[in-house]
Structure formats: C-alpha cells, structure tokens
Structure 1
Amino acid sequence: MRADELDRLLGDPWDDGNPVGYAGVLAADERQEMHAEGERLLDRAVFNAEFVPAAHGGRLTRADRLAELLGTLWRRDPCLGLGYGFSSFIASVNIWTSGSTEQQHQVAQLLLANKRIAAAFHELDHGNDFARVEAAAHPVDGGWLLSGRKEIVTNLRRAEAMVLFARTSDTAGSRSHSQFLVTRDGLPADRVRDLPRFGSSGMRGVDLGGAEFTDCPLPAGALIGGLGAGMEIALRSYQITRAVFPVMFIGPLDTALRTVLDCALHRRLYGGAVADIPYVRSVVARAFADLLAADAYAAVGLRALHLAPEVMGVFAPAAKYLATRILLDSFHDLRSVLGANAYLREGRYAIFQKMARDVAPATFAHVSRAACLVMLLPQLPRLARRSWQVDPSAPGELFDLGADLPPLRLDRLVAGMPKHDGVMGALTEIAEQEPPDGLVGRFAMRFVGELWTLRAQCAALGPADLTIDASPAAFALADRYTVVLGAACALAVWRRGGDRYPADALIGVLDRLNDRLGGPPVLTETEREGVQGHLFDLAVQRYRDRRLFDLTARRIPG
C-alpha cells in the first residue's frame, strides 16, 4: 500500500458524510472509544501486513514507506494510529529482530489475520527505567511462572498476544530481564486479572489497560532470544520504533497547521482576515519550518536504518527527542492563533484540540524525551574525541529522499555505542563549500562553530555527567547536539535534493533550529521577515492546493 492509496481509502476528512472523516473521529473520541469504522476499514485493507516483513508474507520492505503510511493514519486520528497499528508494530519488531523461526511465523499469522499484539513492558512505579521492572518470571519444570503487574499498556485487554518484559534474575545489570511471547488464550484466566482502563486526557479512544499476573504459567517456548537478553533486544528494537516515531508526529502537526490556516484565512477580525495580522503570519511560517525540519531529520534516520544501521544507537534517540520537542513547541504556538477555538470540542476547528491532546502523551510514552537524552549522554565524549569534524562526509544517498534503498536488514542493528553518528561529516563539508557570505554559508558556519564548542565541552564531561544523575548542563549539551544534528540533516537533504525543495524553506528551517541554540541570530530582522513571508505564502499555497506541508508536498483528498 502507498500513502496516497491509504489517503484515498480514508477520504475527505472535512466531509461530514465520510464515516472516517473528522466528524466521526471526534464523535468516537467523545465516547472515549476507538473509531470502529476506521478499524473496519483498516481490517479490509489488511493494514497489519505493513508491519510484517515481506519474507514472512507481509508488505514491510522499506522503513520510510511504513513511516509515511503511519503518518497518514496519525494525520487522521492518532488513536487509530496507535491503537490499531503502531502498538502492534512496537511489540512485533522484537520478534523480527530476535524471535525464533516459529515465533516469527506465529506473529506473522496473527497480524495478517488482523489480530493485535501488545507490548507489555511498562510499570507505573518505574516509568522508562526498564532495568528496575519488578514483574518476575521464575523457572519451573516446563516453563516459567510470572507474577507482577503491567500498567498503561496499549490494547493489553483486547490483544490476542503480547510480548512481556519480565525480570528473570535478581542480579543487577543488563542481563537481569528477558522477553516472552505469549497468546492470551494460552494463559489461565484465573491467573490473570485485567485492571481498569487508566484515565487520560489524550488518546481517550485507546485501551490503556493493565494486568496483574499471579503465578501465571508461561511455556518454555515463550522465551524470546535467550535468557537475560530482554534489554539488548529492546535496545535494538527501539532503534527502529524511535526512527519511525517522528514521521508519525508530523501527521498531527500537518492537521493542526492546516486547521489554523483554515481559520486564519476565513475568520474576520479587526476589519480583515486573521491571516493579515503579522504575528499570525509569523506563527504559521515558523510552524511550517518546524514541520520541514522534523521531516528532514526523520527521513535521514529512516534511510540510515537501511544504509547505516550501525549509527542508529545515536540517531534514533536524537531524532525522537528533537522531533517531539519541535512538535510540542509548534502546537503551543499554533494554539495562540486559534485562541478559544483551540479548546472547543465541537465545530469546524475541534480537530485541533483532539490532535493537541493526543500527541502530548505520545511524546513521553514508549520512551520519554528525558530517556532519549540519557541514552545520548555516555556517547557524547567518545563522539567528540573521535568523530566530530574528523569523519568524512556521509554518502550522498543517505540524504536522497525517496531514492532506492537496499532491503531492511534488522539483524545489522547493534545495541552497543556507535563509533560515529554518520552525519556530522556532511555539515563540515557543506560549510567548507558554501560561500561564507551567502545565507546558507552563514548558517553552515554558525552550526560548525556550535559543533566546535560542543566538541570541547562534551570531551570534558566526567563519569558523573554520563548517567541519569547528570547535571542540567550535561543534559543541555545533549539537547544542543540534537539541534546541530538536525541542522546537518537539513543542509544535506536540501543540497542533495537540488530544486526539489524551496530554497527559502531551508533558510527558515535553519533559522528555527538556530533559535533553539539560544545564540545570536544569523539573519537580520529584515532578512527574517522576508523568509517568513515566503514561507507563509508557500504554506497558503499548499493549503489551497490540498498538498501536504512536508517535503513530499503530496496532494491529499479534500
């Protein structure tokens, strides 16, 4: 399935007669239910096949195409995007990377039959600190006995199977936990107690449930990848899911930006259209630039899964962190344009408040932004001393979005620390080749200068600043690194794309990223006004042409 095919299936979102349009999505949200008609539509399309590698009978061949499909679904309804599909992908990817042949066949058959698989990892007392998970599986003759709780797990009560993360050793360390694949009908009903749904302000249609296990028997064949391999499997799998996450976020931001433009162009205020107000035009231009920045960043990460999977231990957490930060900031700014309309749960602009509520938990669920920075911290000194401004430029094909890719090789993902991030060499090369007095050259030199500063400061980090107990200054270094990495991706994508992407859009993207560093501006006020004016006009043109705001500019129904 292509993304434009899925868009045609979903139809015009603004058509009140469309059962999977915004009216139906909002009605289901008010009932705090999954969108039943949306699920039936996806069942008919066997959408789960997108999560199953082609070698196992599915349609998964390219990570970028999967991400584009999920982004399309999230653009319509994040509850459908998470509750129907992505939650099963989070669970199944552990099987594709580490499961036995029998387990892979079992999961493929379940998904291709429109069944669900839950990822039962989370426990409220420990959040993203999976090393402290308390649910424990003890060995017995013929298998294991599981006791403990899993909480706020998507689809746990309605999934036909689950991947369980449990402690299998009392010894501290990375080999103390394992993963298990079990089917719900294979568990004794009297040993599993479903917990009530956990209330939430966002994702209200998603079944965020839990379960309590009491001496629940698990068969010996349920173990995934070997005893004590749970953390290692998760670290490899998260490299895939974190790479896909940012593109899904771009979907709701596209809907939010489109909704705001619809309001700004048609609502009258102070004797003219809201869009005539300079502040509004600036907010729209900045949000558009933010969306393009996140798209370029995410697209490079998805291509790296195929071309340079060894760097994903750095790139995936960095992309998840920065993309979600951009997303939340953009929603906050766009809300100021809608005013009270941003909170109304009915009417033409009601989809905005649903999108805003649904994306908020998605930015810290699965793996939080803080956890992403914690994963980056221990890698920064090594990268600073051995990689930055030393590595050669990355291959151009890494930045040629939409170009052919080799098959996705999940077995090439590694849980250790990469030797380099695969991108910074491109930043240095572009800075050397661009005219220093041109707009692109000025920004390239600005980000190279920031990289020099980061190199000195990160190389000086001590052991105490490489863990969760690191100082705020150390976390700030990791934050700044993700911004420079994002700028390197944007510069390289635009250079490789030639005339495919508007030149003014790149300047707007780099200006927004530079603002996140908190340093001096690169553009004069006049230059910034000109760039934002061009971006606003381009956003309006995309809106009127019914095209996406991302780098594809693909036409959508409406």
Structure 2
Amino acid sequence: MIDKTVDDLESRFGDPWDPGNPTGHAAVLAADEAGEMLAAGERLLDDYRLNAEFVPPELGGRLTRLDHLIEVMRTVFRHDPCLGLGYGAASLIPAVNVWTAGDERQRRRMAEVLLSGGRAVSGYHELAHGNDVARAEFSALPGDDGRLRLNGRKEVIANAGRAEAMVLFARTSAAPGSRSHSQLFVEKADLPEGAPVHLPRFRSAGMRGVQLGGLEFRDCPIPADAALGAPGLGMETALRSFQITRTALPAMTVGILETGLDVAARFTDERVLYGRSLAGMPHIGAILADAFTDLLICDCLATVTARSVHLLPGETSLYASAAKYFVTTLLMDAMDALSRVLGAQFYIRDGGYGIFQKHLRDLAPAGFGHTARVACLSTVLPQLPRLARKGWLDDTQPPADVFRLGADLPPLSFERLSISSGGRDSLSASLPAALDSCEPDGELRRLLLVIAAEQADVRRECAALAPGDLTVAARPEALRLAARYAAVLAAVACVNIWLHNRERHDAFLSDPRWAVAALGRIAERMGRDPGQRPRHVTERLSAEVLSRHRDRRGFGLSNRRPPGQRLR
C-alpha cells in the first residue's frame, strides 16, 4: 500500500533534473532565491491531499503507521525541504498535540481544518527563552468574564500568517511549578477582529521559503475550555507528543541527505580530473561510501524508533530523544563531508549542482528546530542511572517486528505514550542476543564486541552519575554519556535490521558489508578503534551509491525504484 502511495507522489513531482519541471530542482532554486514557497509544489500537495497523512483514520485521514508517514514525507523533503517543513511538518506538530490530549470536539475540529486543506501552527518558543519552554511568559489567565485572556508573543512560527488553527503553549497559572502551563487549541475564526497582531517576518539562511513570523496577543479572549487535556498538563502533553515528532521529523529529513548523495554521485559521474573519472578515485569513493553508510545508520535508527512507537510505546520517550540527537548529527556531518566532493561547486547557488547548497542550508534547522539536540540529550540523561542499575540487567527481548521492515503494526496509540520509559529498554537487551543467536561473519562479530564493550562502559558510568548530573546544570561529561547511549542504540538498530531482513529479496540489504561499515562508523563516533575497514566493503558501498544514482533509485533501506522501473 505504501509503495503505491509513494510512487503516486513521486510521479507527481516528476524528474527533479528536468529544467522544465515546475517542481524540479531549477524551480525549487528559483523559489528559494525569491524567498518564497514553491507555488507549484503547494498546488501539487493540495491535489495529493498531503494533510490527510497527518490525521488518524477514525477522523477521516491516512495516519495509520508512523513509518508510512515518514516514507511519504521523506519524498517531499527530498524534492524541497521548504515544502516538507512549511507545508507538512509545521501542521503535523500541532496536530499531534491535539491527537494526544484533545477532547472529541478539539480532535474533530483539527481534523476538519487539515482535511479541508487548511494549516495549523504551534507556538512553543519565545526568543527570550529558546527551548526552555518552562520559562515561557506567554500567558492565558482567566478574565472577569470567565474566559481566558491571551497576552504575550510567540515567535519564529512557520506559517504564522497563513494558519487557521493554533496550538499555543501558555502559562495558565501564576503559581510556580511544573503544573503552571497548558497547551491551548485556538482557531483564528474564534478570535476578535484584529487579533492576533502579526509580527514582521523573520528572514533565515536556510528554509528561506518558509514563512517564519510571530504572533502577539494583547488581552485577547478565548474560550475557557481551550486547554488540551486538564489545565496545567501542558508539559506532560508536550513530552508525550514530542515522541512522535522527535521520531518523525529527523527521519523525514533523511530525504535531504538522499538528494545530497544524488547530486554528489551525479557530479562524480560527470567530472574528469587529471584524465580520470572522479567516480573512479578511491578517496572520492570513500567519501560517498561513508555518507551512504551514515544515511543507512540514520534510516535504521529512525525506522526502529518509528516502529517502537507502535510496539513499545512505554519506552519511546527514551528512543525518540536519542534518535533525534543522533540522526540529525549524522545527517549534518554527512552533508558537510559530501560538500568536499563538489569542491567549489557546493556553494554555487545556481547551475546544475545548485540544489546541493540549498539542501545543505535547509538541513541545518533540523538540529535545533522544534527542540534542540541538547534538549533531547537532557531528556535521555535523567533516565540513564535507573536503566544502568535495573533496566539494562533485564534481558527481556523486544518483539522481532520492531526490526522487520514492512511487517504489520498495531494502530498508532497516542494515549499509551509515557513521559518516561520506567526503567525499561528492551532494544538495548537485543545486542547481546544478536551476538548469541546468530553467526555473523568474523568482521561483523568483531565490531559487535567493540559495541558491546562500549555498552558495558556506558552502563558502569551511568550507574555512578551523581544527582547533580541529572539536571539542566549537568556537566558536559554527563551529557556525553547520553550521546554515547544514542550511538549504542544506533548500532543495535543496524545489526538487528540486518539480522531480521536477510531473507528479503534484496541482495544489498542481505549483504553483511553494509552492516560492517555501519558498526565501524558508529565505533569511530564512540572514540573506539574499529580497525581498518576492508577495502572490499568501501568499494561495495561506493559502487552501490553510483548504481542507485544511475538507476534513479532511493538511497534508503527500502531501495525504492521510480514508478514503472523494474529491477536490473
């Protein structure tokens, strides 16, 4: 089913390299230069009814599986990240909060807004406080008439001037403590004339076409029942809904790296240096192989995390934050590395390779947009000591379907998401099981032992963390422990994706060489010596990059081919 859906969307976008394509690279660059959303792209997504992907099926939409949503949105991000964020993710983020905590009326109204082609926005941030939303000064306190009164500003909001519905994070009590904030569902049609005041647009280096603005409210009345869930539960709602968005958004932006690889492969195919094809140079091949490996690592961790939302919802608070940190870090580093392949061409804003610099700029907000990487580590860190003393000693295995690509999943259950894993981490328990339950080739087994040693060290050091290291004032060394845990989790995802999908009719996925490369790259990030990577591994991966580019296949785990194209 998802193959047909993504094929349909790909067909609508057409060949990105065709200069006459209204949604191709040339048109995307022109819109970027003008600082505008790609109008032809928005019309395409209107016709496709992309917003239906964000709405649960019981409300008339197509949001049945998180991994399917990611596949669809990755296609959009691959063609134009501004459409991915400005048309897609900007509405997904507020919608998830409504699905998580809204009552029947609020859920129905959000669905009606989106399914009619409308837009929704979320207002978490205030420039004075950044990602520290608990210090938000924006308020919604009761007025004399019983209604809430909005006062304050929300800034750097995508589509602030074009949205019909808003989810606003606001102080709803003057009392100190964590129960003083709520999330509010507000429709612009219900506001008095002249409200809100639209602040001037923010210009940005990346995502230039996304309309970033701000909203200011001055004693603006809204209904007393606007809160999502019980008043004072705004932070809990955010922490639960973030598990969906922290999982999905970085996974969607893997499409940006796919385009980066495609451009770099095209460049190496077309360029000759010192009488030799760039594609045949070992150094260039190694850069392509490493970036491709990083993309596969991101896809493995993102896919396992997305499937865990369905199968292990009580543990997802741990996995989603770790994945957001690790995936965005790898994506940005891989794109930076690919820029060295293009040389001076990587910063030229037009011409045949101009799309690369746009995607490179557009990727940067993935690391700090919505919630910053360090905020994600701060979510993981307080859970680690309990895991070290209890959870990581439990050998309960996760369901195998967490790792089986395309396997059936139960319905997406927002109410089962928890703000803490409760000391459970079944994914980590599968690493020793991977060593015991199969006979991986010698190189893969050696790297698994390297990862297992890192896991043991992380467990020992986490058990010794002091209480002061679990707060926002944590030492950098403590935060690095959370980052090291995320790296171990990525390795767990990679080896298990290989183990559980070897029987699929995909020669590349069943080949252990990509898993060897992945574990080696992760070991390097851990500061561990992975040993010398066998030359045949690098050659296999670089050859796969060029093959997929020439066949116009995707670079992810799905190895997707364009509509109508058969396997070679």
Q: Residue 266 of structure 2 is aligned with which of 262, 267, 284? A: 262
Structure 2 partner of 1:86: 89
Kept after mapping to 1: 8 A contact 2:268/2:279: yes
Deviations 1:63-88 (A, max 9, x none): 11001101110000010001111110
User: Which of 517, 522, 533 is the aligned partner of 2:526?
Assistant: 517
Amino acid at match of 1:532: T
Alignment of 1:335-346 (within 5 A): 335-346=339-350
1:365 to 358, 369, 382: 369
Query: 2:11 pairs with 8, 12, 33, which one?
Result: 8
CA distance in 2, matches of 1:537, 1:467: 47
**Equivalent-residue separation in structure 1 for 2:401 and 2:201 (angstroms):** 46
- Shift of the 46–435 alpha-carbon distance from structure 1 to 2, 3 Å rule, reads closer
Residue pair 2:131, 2:371 contacting (<8 A) in 1 also: yes
Residue 508 in structure 1 maps to residue 512 in structure 2: no
Equivalent pairs counted in the alignment come to 555
| Conservation of the 8 A alpha-carbon contact between 2:258 and 2:554 | yes
Match for residue 561 of structure 2 among 551, 555, 558: 555
1:123 to 104, 107, 126: 126
| 1:406 matched residue in structure 2 | 410
In the TM superposition, what are the counterparts of 1:537-552 in structure 2 within 5 Å? 537-552=543-558
Distance 2:305 2:426 in 1: 10
Tell me how far apart the structure 2 counterparts of residues 385 and 537 of structure 1 sit (CA, whole Å). 45
The answer (yes or no) to whether the contact 1:52–1:59 under 8 Å persists in 2 is yes
Q: Does 1:486 align with 2:486?
A: no
The answer to whether the Cα contact below 8 Å between 2:450 and 2:528 also exists between their aligned partners in 1 is no
Q: 2:29 aligns with which of 26, 43, 54?
A: 26
2:443 to 416, 420, 439: 439
Number of the residue aligned with 2:42? 39
Shift of 1:480: 0.7
Q: Secondary structure at the match of 1:19?
A: coil
For 1:181, the equivalent position in structure 2 comes to 185
- 1:302 has 2:310 as partner: no
Residues 1:350 and 2:371 aligned together: no
1:104 to 95, 104, 107: 107
| Distance in 2, Cα, partners of 1:436 & 1:67 | 30
- SS of 2:167 mapped into structure 1: strand
The answer for the alignment partner of 1:250 in structure 2 is 254
Q: How does 1:175-254 map to 2 (within 5 A)?
A: 175-254=179-258
Amino acid across the alignment from 1:268: V
Q: Which residue of the partner structure matches residue 71 of structure 1?
A: 74
Please give the alpha-carbon distance, in whole angstroms, between the structure 1 residues aligned to 2:379 and 2:176: 19
Aligned counterparts of 1:397 and 1:224: Cα–Cα separation in 2: 33
Q: Tell me the TM-score normalized by structure 2.
A: 0.96
Q: Structure 1 residue 138 and structure 2 residue 126: aligned? A: no
Quote how far apart the aligned CAs of 1:391 are. Answer: 2.4
Match of 1:419, SS? coil
User: Separation in 2 of the partners of 1:110 and 1:249?
Assistant: 25
- State the alpha-carbon separation in 1 of the partners of residues 439 and 113 from structure 2: 56
Aligned partner of residue 214 in structure 1, secondary structure: strand
User: By how many angstroms is 1:4 displaced?
Assistant: 1.6
Q: CA deviation at 1:434?
A: 4.6
**CA–CA separation in structure 1 for the residues paired with 2:330 and 2:222:** 42
**Counterpart of 1:241 in structure 2: which amino acid?**
T
Runs of 5+ consecutive residues of structure 2 not aligned to the other structure: none
Structure 2 distance, partners of 1:436, 1:552, is 22
Match of 2:334 in 1: 330
CA displacement at 1:369 relative to structure 2: 0.3
Provide the C-alpha distance between the structure 2 equivalents of 1:437 and 1:354, rounded to a whole number of angstroms.
41
Q: Equivalents in 2 of 1:225, 1:537: separation in Å? A: 53
Residue among 297, 300, 306 paired with 1:293:
297
* Kept in 2: contact 1:428–1:448 (CA 8 A): yes
Q: Partners of 1:206 and 1:313 in 2: how far apart?
A: 29
Task: Identify if the C-alpha distance between structure 1 residues 437 and 254 changes in structure 2 by more than 3 Å, giving closer, same or farther.
Answer: closer
Amino acid corresponding to residue 510 of structure 1 in structure 2 = L
Contact 2:315 2:420 in 1 (8 A): no
2:541 to 530, 535, 546: 535
Query: How many Å separate the matches in 2 of 1:303 and 1:433?
Result: 22
Residue 170 of structure 1 and its aligned partner are, at CA, apart by: 2.2
3-state SS, counterpart of residue 222 of structure 1: coil
The alpha-carbon deviation at position 437 of structure 1 amounts to 7.3
Deviation at 1:478, TM superposition (A): 0.8
CA drift of 1:499 comes to 4.2
Q: TM-score, normalised by structure 1?
A: 0.97
Counterpart check, 1:316 vs 2:320 = yes
CA-CA distance at 1:332 after TM superposition: 0.9
Q: Name structure 1 gaps, 5 residues minimum.
A: none
Q: Determine the C-alpha separation between the residues in 2 that align with 1:376 and 1:444.
A: 23
Contact 1:434 1:441 survives alignment (8 Å) = no
Give the alignment's Cα RMSD to 1 decimal: 1.4
Which residue number corresponds to residue 51 of structure 1?
54
Contact 2:286 2:542 in 1 (8 A): yes
Letter in 2 for 1:380: L
Identity of counterpart residues, as a percentage?
Answer: 48
Secondary structure of the residue aligned to 1:402 is: coil
Instruction: Specify whether residues 49 and 317 from structure 1 end up closer, same or farther in structure 2 by C-alpha distance, changes over 3 A only.
Output: same
Look up the equivalent residue of 1:108 and give its one-letter code. A
Cα distance per residue 1:189-235 (max 9 Å; x no partner): 33421111112100100011001111011112322111101111111
Contact 2:52 2:61 in 1 (8 A): yes
